[in-house]
Structure 1
Amino acid sequence: MIADLAPLPADALRAELLAPNGPFTALDVLTRTGSTNTDLADAARNGAPDRTVLIAEEQTAGRGRNTRPWTSPARAGIHVSVLLRPAGVPMPRLGWLMMLGGVVVQRVVSRLCAVEAVVKWPNDLLIGPDRAKCCGVLAEAVVGQDGPAVVLGIGLNVHQRADELPVGPGGLPPTSLAMQGSACLERDRILVELLRELDSAERLWREHGGDPVRSGLIDRYRQVCGTLGQQVRVELPGSDGRNRFLHGVAEDIDADGRLVVRAADGSAQPVSAGDVVHLRPATQPE
């Protein structure tokens, strides 16, 4: 990592993104914290308003899916959480916000950074010819006195070196925008594009009551999902505490956001939770 990376310009970000010039209601930049998602979830329970944004230069206790911990070097990446209060959206549809976040990140990285990018179901961004992990998205529901809310967190690797990045589940290789020769490494510029794209996409989804079909979200997700068409191995949690494995071809995303896998016996198996590994052609099922 470069030692003298510039800090994010908090005042400039507020001037561009907060009302009346922008669509957000509050924005803070922390020098260091455990987890922006945890901090913002606490704020949500205490009545923080819709479209509150929290950014950290460094995280020491970040969380991924299944509560996996991860840390990030100071000023090397983008660590941002957004509080959303989508009034009128039924609770079962709130889970689509994590997938919406994946679509948003894929759009911005592809367009602004000129890097090949796809989404690995449900929430990882894979970039470059080797499809290494560059970003994770996590949505967490929060229930407080002001009703349900969702904290949507995005962690994007920008300047990290290979030795600063942990290998993900299933041996998924990590990477950063710098390692892939990104056309843009300006964290403030990427942040502004991410947040503006998120605002636009979430408003459209919210206007349609969170319906992934009528809002077009499910079609946009299918278009950028690099898992579809792949031979996959899915590690599924068992009721007895022992995991089991499903092998097959990832065929579709259904209206509930589940990955539909065509198993070896020809059956279509919808998967709502599990670790997915993309199998290379030479890989044999375990």
Structure 2
Amino acid sequence: MDVVAETGSTNADLVAGVANFADRTALIAEHQDSGRGRHSRSFSGAPRSQILLSMLLKFPGIDPAVLGWLPLMTGIALVDTLRTVAEVDARLKWPNDVLIGGKKVSGILAEVAAHGPSPTVVIGLGVNVSMTAEELPVATATSLALENAAVLDRDTLVRAILRGVAAEVDSWRDSNWGIDALAHRYRERCGTIGQRVRVDLPGGEEKFGTAVDVDEHGRIVIEMENVDSGRPAVLAVAAGDVTHLRPVS
């Protein structure tokens, strides 16, 4: 585990040096000024107020078709760590955000750094730890401090997260990269299932409905509202932004 005071992006650093890093290399930054999440959205925070962590993981023999489950698997590990160590009611928001009380405390980003028979993936995550309400970028975000977490020591949390991710990878490998158990455990922790949602699809199209499942491909399954005659009533979404909406009264 390496710690740097500042960098552009821990994910970018590991991806750029992929040939030089061993399996399960972890890189942590006290601050990063070019961090990005899904869809290349930027994010930043006050130095030492967040966990900014990237891990390089190698998967010899894995079916590349299941690599899309890796960020979801990481979300399981992160939720379990926050529940057991920080003692907060963390839940997953599809595909790989973590919410407390409906507000985002963490996000996860996966990038394939090397293809071939032993794919290498870099997983990055950020956790808002001690950020104040004034420091948060949007009103829909939160931090462990604001949620009265039992533990705010970043070193303790980082080590627990790394152990949790390693245990999930080992368990997944032992199952020969099977999906059934992984999908079941994701569904158990997913706060999106059962929610009325808006889905913003690539290309700008909006869909409304109720999230009813996460399928074996990691897609969120939506029962559609206002379905026109002849169009499918159920939509499986592989890529898009999901917003939890208040139930219709």
TM-score by length of structure 1 reads 0.82
Look up the match of 1:248. 209
What amino acid maps onto 2:11 in structure 1? N
Look up the match of 1:209. 176
**SS of 1:59's equivalent?**
coil
Q: Given that residues 47 and 146 in structure 1 are in contact (C-alpha distance below 8 angstroms), is that contact kept between their aligned partners in structure 2?
A: no
1:135 paired residue among 89, 96, 106: 106
Deviation at 1:145, TM superposition (A): 8.5
Distance (Å, rounded) in 1 between the aligned partners of 2:4 and 2:68: 27
Deviation at 1:144, TM superposition (A): 6.3
Look up the match of 2:25. 52
2:121 paired residue among 141, 144, 150: 150
1:99 paired residue among 69, 72, 80: 72
1:258 paired residue among 219, 240, 245: 219
Distance (Å, rounded) in 2 between the aligned partners of 1:133 and 1:66: 17
What amino acid maps onto 2:193 in structure 1? L
**SS of 1:108's equivalent?**
helix
What amino acid maps onto 2:246 in structure 1? R
| Identity %, equivalent residues | 42
**SS of 1:227's equivalent?**
coil
Deviation at 1:165, TM superposition (A): 1.5
Distance (Å, rounded) in 2 between the aligned partners of 1:92 and 1:47: 26
TM-score by length of structure 2 reads 0.94
What amino acid maps onto 1:280 in structure 2? R
Deviation at 1:70, TM superposition (A): 0.8
Deviation at 1:74, TM superposition (A): 0.9
What amino acid maps onto 1:237 in structure 2? P
1:65 matched to 2:38: yes
Deviation at 1:282, TM superposition (A): 4.5
For structure 2, the 5+ residue unaligned runs are: none
Distance (Å, rounded) in 2 between the aligned partners of 1:141 and 1:103: 20
What amino acid maps onto 2:169 in structure 1? E
For structure 1, the 5+ residue unaligned runs are: 1-26
Deviations 1:164-203 (A, max 9, x none): 1112xxxx70110001111111111111111101100111
Structure 1 vs Structure 2 CA RMSD: 1.6
Distance (Å, rounded) in 1 between the aligned partners of 2:72 and 2:118: 22
What amino acid maps onto 2:53 in structure 1? V
Look up the match of 1:9. none
State how 1:1-286 maps to structure 2 within 5 Å. Answer: 27-44=1-18, 46-128=19-101, 131-143=102-114, 147-167=118-138, 173-213=140-180, 216-238=181-203, 243-264=204-225, 265=227, 267-282=233-248
**SS of 1:60's equivalent?**
coil
What amino acid maps onto 2:5 in structure 1? T
Distance (Å, rounded) in 1 between the aligned partners of 2:154 and 2:140: 22
